[in-house]
Structure 1
Amino acid sequence: MQSVTAFTDTYLPTVNGVTYTIQTWRERWHRRGGRMDVVYPKDNDYAPESGEFPVRSLPFPFYEGMRVGVPRVPDAVGDADIVHAHTPFGLGLAGLRLARRRDLPFVATYHTPTGEYAEYLSSVNVIERGVERTAERYERWFFDRADAVIVPSEDAKRRLRDEVGVDAHVVVLSNGIDIERFAPADGDAFRARYDLGDGPLVGYTGRHGYEKELDELVRAAVGLDATLVFGGDGPARDELAQLAADLDVDARFLGFLDREELPAFYSALDVFGFPSPVETQGLVALEANACGTPVVGVNDGALEDTVEDGETGYHYESGDIDSFRRGIQRALAERDELSTRCLARRDEVSVEHSVDRLAALYERLG
């Protein structure tokens, strides 16, 4: 098995889709007898394990909880066979430098459309659009230098082509989920632990970022005979809680949930609501499905493909709150049938299939 060094600007203790994907791929790679080191921004709240190499980092002032690594290549990763960047910035540049210096295959994953986060830098439309254009030009420069660019969905491939201008050497490869972990669990015990009662539950877990349009989920819950449950945290949490209070929505904010709790969280829900239009795959939707919970998600971004109407849940058009509410009501009424279809598709979304394809890509490039 080849030795891989992954460079990322997002890693533990931050828990999100990028961190989860890197961790899961790395664990499966090690199972196969390979080595996958990780270079990431140092955070004093996390003690590195073997094969994890923190480098000096600085807080990113416009995005709470994010740190940016100073581009540097630790000496210990200099013997890699493959370099894989999970960011075009900061440490992604360090990975590119290592690949060019040692003439190694360079793979980059397009996890996040950077332009979507321009609003964090400015609320002025002209400035925001200028930031988006600058980000897209830079991303084009970076990804054009990769031997292969991995995207987790067909939507992400379209975005990379249409918005960034990268079309060649792009490979659609799902991040996959750990179906050993994400399977039906004891949802009743989770309900009891958090005093959620025995009525219908509609929920979401993940970062409470403004770009995820979570207010649409709160507004869609108006008039529903259900409790709204949020797991996770983020900058929009307080405003979401205030909105729920203003609209008289029964909403519970559980805060950050340990990953070990997530299968029970998903299993406790009757429907997972997912209004975010900025996902490049939407792993939490696949995790919910793998636990037997249908998803009602926006018909935009990766969720256009991740959610299958009538099979794993339903779509609604972004901004159409009435349609969102109707989708949730329909999924609540058909919960048992949708759950059966979700569980029948578990193997299709497993990380094992994803790592099989990743290994084949590495082998082809090496």
Structure 2
Amino acid sequence: MHSVVAFTDTYLPTVNGVTYTVESWRDRWRARGGRMDVVYPNAGGYEPRDGEYPIRSLPFPFYEGFRFGLPRIPRAVRNVDIVHAHTPFALGLGGLRLARREEVPFVASYHTPSSEYASYLTSRDRLEDGIERLSESYERWFLGQTAAVVVPSEATKRDLRSRVGDDVAFRVIPNGVDIDRFRPVDATAFRERHDLTDADTLVGYTGRHGYEKCLGDIVDAVAGLDATVVFGGDGPARDHIEARARTRGVDARFLGFLDRDELPAFYSSLDAFLFPSPVETQGLVALEANACGTPVVGVDCGALSDTIEEGVTGYHYDLGDIEGFRTAIGRTLDEVETLERRCTDRREAMSVEHAVDRLAEVYDAVTGTG
């Protein structure tokens, strides 16, 4: 098995899709007898395990909770076969430096378009457009340094190829879900703990509350439906969403960050998971919900066009079509028992084990050992 070091701008104790992917891939790679070290920003509140190297970091002033790691290479990280960057920012550059120094293949995973952060840097449209163009130019350069770019969906591959070109070797590997953890469970205790027992029909979302995710559309779509909407997670858009719910008279409950152990019960408590974000590279939470037997109503845009199987694991609606969103929610609720059964039938195909099998193939290919 190859010796790998992963560089990531987000890791424990922060919980999000990137953290989950890096940690789950690392654990399974090690279980197979390989080595996968992780270099990440030190945010405090977490005791590193063997092979985890926190480095000095700085807060990102425009996005609470996000930190930039400095482009350092821990002295203990050496004798590696592959460097795998999960970020194009400073820590990704540290990974690129290590790969060049050790003369080993450099692989990058594409999780989030860097241009999406432009809206957090300025509210001026002209300046935001300039930052987006600069970000995309930098992204093309960074990805051009790789032996392979791992993307979580065909939609992301198509989008990147249109912007980066054909010189980059793209490899599609869905991030995968821990189906031992994410499975249908009895959500009674969860509902009681979070005062949700009075709600007959629950729909909701969990994840980062970013403006780019269009979460206010959930409130608008649920308005007029006999349903309670519940939000897990947090982020800069939360106050805006709460105010919107009050204005629209929507019964919305905000739970804040949920412990990862609570997520299977959260998903299992819902009749439908709502996902209006047009900027997903895969939409891992949609697969987690499906693995728990919960259908997803998502925008027919970006990766969600592929992640959600129409009429099988949920339904789509067109971006910006609030009435279409509301109709898709209603249809999902009408067919919920059938959709739940179809979701659980597809659990094996979603597993992280399949993802790591594909990852091993990529590592073999870039090192010429496959």
TM-score bracket, normalised by the shorter chain, equals over 0.9
The within-5 A match list for 1:336-351 is: 336-351=337-352
SS in 1 for 2:72: coil
Secondary structure of the residue aligned to 2:253 is: strand
1:355 deviates by 0.1
For 2:223 and 2:366, the matched residues in 1 are separated by: 52
Counterpart AA for 2:286: A
Matched-pair contact (CA < 8 Å) for 1:143–1:166: no
Matched, 1:210 2:189: no
Q: Distance in 1 between matches of 2:364 and 2:164?
A: 27
Q: Which residue number in structure 1 is paired with residue 232 of structure 2?
A: 231
Residue-by-residue CA offset, 1:76-105 (whole Å, 9 max, x unaligned)? 111111110001111100111111111101
CA distance in 2, matches of 1:166, 1:236: 36
Give the 5 Å matches for 1:32-181: 32-165=32-165, 168-181=168-181
Q: What RMSD in Å do the two structures reach over aligned CA positions?
A: 1.0
Match of 2:308 in 1: 307
Q: Which amino acid aligns with 1:161?
A: R
Number of the residue aligned with 1:257: 258
Aligned to 1:330: 331
Q: Does 1:244 align with 2:212?
A: no
1:201 and 1:269 in contact (8 A); partners too: yes
Query: 2:218 aligned with 1:192, yes or no?
Result: no
Amino acid at match of 1:133: R
- Per-residue deviation at 1:13? 1.7
Partner of 2:203: helix, strand, or coil? strand
Out of 39-48 and 333-342, give the one that drifted further.
39-48
For 1:318 and 1:101, locate their aligned partners in 2 and report how far apart those are by CA, in whole Å: 45
Distance 2:214 2:232 in 1: 15
**Aligned in 2, Cα 1:122/1:165: closer, same or farther, shift over 3 Å?**
farther
Distance (whole Å) between structure 2 residues aligned to residue 127 and residue 163 of structure 1: 21
Corresponding position of 2:365: 364
Letter in 1 for 2:327: R
Structure 2: which 5+ residue stretches go unaligned? none
Q: TM-score, normalization: structure 2?
A: 0.97
CA distance in 2, matches of 1:337, 1:35: 42
Give the aligned residue type for 2:105: P
Q: Which amino acid aligns with 1:107?
A: V
Say which SS state the counterpart of residue 84 (structure 1) adopts.
strand
Provide structure 1 residue ranges, at least 5 long, that are not aligned to the other structure: none
Q: State the alpha-carbon separation in 1 of the partners of residues 210 and 167 from structure 2.
A: 29
Output one character per residue of 1:245-273: Cα deviation in whole Å (capped at 9) or x when no partner.
Answer: 11110010011110000001100000000
The answer to whether the 8 A contact 1:160-1:167 is kept is no
| Alignment match, 1:26 | 26
**Distance in 2 of aligned mates of 1:353 and 1:142:** 28
Report if the CA contact (8 A) 1:282-1:303 is conserved: yes
Aligned residues between the structures: 366
Q: CA deviation at 1:115?
A: 1.0
Name the CA distance, whole Å, in 2 between partners of 1:67 and 1:159.
27
- C-alpha distance after superposition, 1:265-319 (max 9, x if no partner): 1000000000000100000000000000000000011101001110000001111
The amino acid of 2:204's aligned partner reads G
CA contact (8 A) 1:176 1:349 kept: yes
Q: Is 1:294 the counterpart of 2:299 in the alignment? A: no
1:117–1:211 CA contact under 8 A, matched in 2: no
Alignment-mate amino acid for residue 130 of structure 1: G
Which residue is equivalent to 2:223?
Answer: 222
Contact 1:160 1:166 in 2 (8 A): no
Letter in 2 for 1:361: V
Q: Give the Å deviation of 1:64.
A: 1.4
Contact conserved, 2:119 with 2:128, CA < 8 A, in 1? yes
Identity %: 65
Distance 1:234 1:283 in 2: 18
**CA offset at residue 44 of structure 1?**
2.0
Q: Kindly state the Cα deviation for residue 189 of structure 1 after the two structures are TM-superposed.
A: 2.1
Q: Deviations over 1:13-65 (max 9, x none)?
A: 21111111000001111110111100011112222111110111111111111
CA distance in 1, matches of 2:109, 2:87: 7
